[in-house]
Amino acid sequence: MAVKGSRECVSLFTGGDIAMPDHGTDETSRTIVITGATRGLGRALAEGFVALGHTVAGCGRSDRAIAELRQALGEPHDFAVLDVTSDEAVKEWAEGLINSFGAPDLLLNNAAVINRSATLWELSAAEFDQIIDINIKGTANVLRWFVPAMVARRRGVIVNFSSEWGRTTSPEVAPYCATKWAIEGLTRALAQELPRGLAAIPLNPGIINTDMLRTSFGVAASRFPDPRQWAEKAVPFLLRLGPKDNGKPLDVT
C-alpha cells in the first residue's frame, strides 16, 4: 500500500479530503521513531503519521517486511532491519538516525512479543528469556541511545507501549504480564528522571485484533478493531501528548 501522497489515507486520518502538506515545508512536521514498525500497530501508526506529513523512522526483524515498508512509504522515511535485543545494533541505528534527522520528537517503543499460551512452569527458560529480552531489554536499549539526544534538546515525548496485562493479569500469559508490568514501572521511574520539557508515558493501546492477540484470543480477536481502525484514534492521540502527560499511565481514547 503506497501511503505517501495518498489523498485517501490523508482523509482517513484527518477526517476530510485535504491536500497532504509538503514534507520539509510544514513547520508542524515531526520526526517519529517507531520500533516494531513492520506489522500490526507499528505499521498502522507509521502509515498514519506519514499520511499527515510527518517523517517516520522505524525498525523490524524481517528483511522482507522492511523492504516492503521502504517501498510502500518511500523517502524521506527510513526503515531498518534491527534486533532490539542487541545493544550495539541499537546504538548504531540510533546514532545514524540522530545524525540524519536529529533527536526524535516522538519515540514509540512498540516492539514486543507474547509467549505461547501455557502455564508458567510449562514454558522453557529459552521461551521466557525471549519475552524478557525483547519486551524489557529491547525497550531499555532503545531508551539508552535515543534519550540523551532528546534530553540535550530538552524536548520530546517517549511512549513505551504497555498493555491491559501491564495493569491486570491473566492465566497462561505470565511472562508477557511480567514484562508489561515492568514497562509500567520503568517508564514511570524514567519520567521522574527527565528534565522539564520532556515526557515519558506508559501507554495501554487497548484491545486490538492483531496477530499477537490472536495467539491468546483465537477467533474471538475478530470482535475487536483492526490496527488501521485503531490508528484512526491513536495517531491524533499520540500527537497531542506533551510534557503535561509526563509519568501518567494512559490509555488510547
- Which residues carry out catalysis? 176
HSE of 3, CA atoms in CB hemisphere, 13 A: 29
What does the alpha-carbon distance between residue 133 and residue 128 come to, in Å, rounded to a whole number?
Answer: 9
Inter-residue contact 151 to 194 (CB < 8 Å) = yes
44 three-state secondary structure: helix
The set of cell numbers assigned to 159 is: 511512549
Closest CA to 113 of 99, 127, 97: 127
Task: Identify the sign of the CA torsion 228, 233, 237, 239.
Answer: positive
Q: Which residues contact 180 (CB under 8 A, 6 or more apart)?
A: 135, 162, 163, 165, 166
Name the 3-class secondary structure at 133.
helix
Contacts of 42 (CB under 8 A, 6+ apart): 34, 35, 36, 58, 60, 108, 110, 111
User: Which residues touch 41 (CB under 8 Å, ≥6 apart)?
Assistant: 110, 161, 205, 208, 210, 227, 230, 231, 234
- Interacting residues of 26 by C-beta distance below 8 A, sequence separation 6+: 53
